[in-house]
Amino acid sequence: MEAKAALLVNLGSPDSPTEEDVRRYLNEFLMDKNVIDLPWPLRRLIVSLFVLPKRPAQSAKAYSSVWTDEGSPLVTICYRLLEQVRQYTDMPVELAMRYGRPDMESAIVKLAGNPEIKELLLFPLYPHYAMSTVKTVIDKAQAIISDNQLPISLNVHPIFYDHDDYIGALVNSARPWLEKDYDHLIFSYHGVPERHISKDDPTRSHCLKSDDCCHKPSHAHHTCYRHQIYRTSASFVEKANIPVDKYSVAFQSKLGRDKWLEPSTLDTIRQQAKQGAKKLLVICPAFVADCLETLEEIGMEAREEFIKAGGESLELIPCLNDNPEWAKLLSRWLEEPLKA
């Protein structure tokens, strides 16, 4: 039998929370054509004129507020997950980040350096498809294999936003928070520009063409981030027995002037406070590991907004991180990948 290796990939963080390192990281990230999907000269202009002058200082401050002695929470947690996964499988498994370090090229070249390895299973650590997450990881892996003329085939693990075992692990890990007294649960997903969803619509005539498109059957849902996040939320509340009026779905982290998916998490939080909610829970299933966007944007910034708007407490439900049920599930999927 031909031997297989696996590579887990997440988004990545700057090397440190200094303005200089954050600038380098933001430049690499935002110059990716799958993230800011404009022709190179326009992308270069926007990143140089509108992002790099001010954002690195703001983001460095935010990163400093969550940075630990071990480094970036996202990278540290992913390493802990990798250690757990390795306990459950004999396959060679490595971790890489799409931007920054540990980098994808070193990891893929290392795995392919073992002459027994004929197949690389790429596992993007995202439950949902987006061009700015899954597609860019696949594009990068293909380019690395081709540029280095590596003698391995590439297999990509499918997304798993609605898989019963994933939803089960998510509900079980959230249970200690769900068992407490709370008024409302917000599912806060990283947003994307609406244009990204329309661009990826294989039918060219379904996504965002009507308000309820995500609830009508369509082949387009394979690449529709909004459909997939609705499915994750619906499956979660069904399993956790949460009534429809006790939860909302919202989108965070908007950047720039384009139209992004709505409603925004901050608007939803303010609205909840206005309607009298005192105790809010927020869960962020677009992320499998806690990171800047959960710990700072929700755990600090959104919490402050909720209290300012009259709320009493906002609790962030941790991501799956290195939860043993999740680590076991992941190692099972590495050995027996789901069918697309």
Ligand X SMILES: C=CC1=C(C)c2cc3[nH]c(cc4nc(cc5[nH]c(cc1n2)c(C)c5CCC(=O)O)C(CCC(=O)O)=C4C)c(C)c3C=C
For ligand X, the binding residues (CB under 6 A) are 11, 13, 26, 35-36, 55, 59, 72, 74, 126, 130, 132-133, 190, 192, 225, 253, 255, 286-287, 291-293
Q: Which does 117 bind (CB under 5 to 8 A by kind): ligand X, Fe ion, none?
A: none
Are 308 and 97 contacting, i.e. CB atoms less than 8 angstroms apart?
no
Identity of the residue, 133 or 272, whose beta carbon is nearer to ligand X in the bound complex: 133
Is 125 a binding residue for Fe ion by CB under 5 A? The answer is no
Q: Is the bond preceding 158 in cis, omega lying within 30 degrees of 0?
A: no
CB of 194 to ligand X, least distance (A): 11
How many residues bind Fe ion, per CB under 5 A? 5
User: How many angstroms separate the CA atoms of 226 and 247, rounded?
Assistant: 17
- The distance of closest approach from Cβ of residue 15 to Fe ion in the complex, given in angstroms and rounded to an integer, is 18
Residue 335 counted as an annotated binding residue = no
Binding of Fe ion by 292 (CB under 5 A): no
- Our finding on whether 137 is near Fe ion (CB under 5 A) is no
Q: Is 238 annotated as a binding residue?
A: no
- Binding flag, residue 207, Fe ion (CB under 5 A): yes
Q: Both tokens of residue 298?
A: 């929700």
CA distances from 221 to 167, 226, 250 (A): 18, 9, 19
**Does the footprint of Fe ion cover residue 213 (CB under 5 A)?**
yes
Decide if residue 250 touches Fe ion (CB under 5 A). no
Nearest approach, Cβ of residue 124 and ligand X (Å): 10
Which own/partner pairs from 229-232 qualify as long-range (CB within 8 Å, at least 24 positions apart)? Answer: 229/128, 229/161, 229/187, 229/189, 229/285, 229/286, 231/161, 231/162, 232/127, 232/128, 232/161, 232/162, 232/167, 232/187, 232/285
> Measured between alpha carbons, how far is residue 140 from residues 32, 149, 155 in Å?
10, 14, 13
Residues annotated within a binding site for Fe(2+):
190, 293
Q: Which residues in this chain contact Fe ion in the complex, by CB under 5 A?
A: 207, 213-214, 224, 227
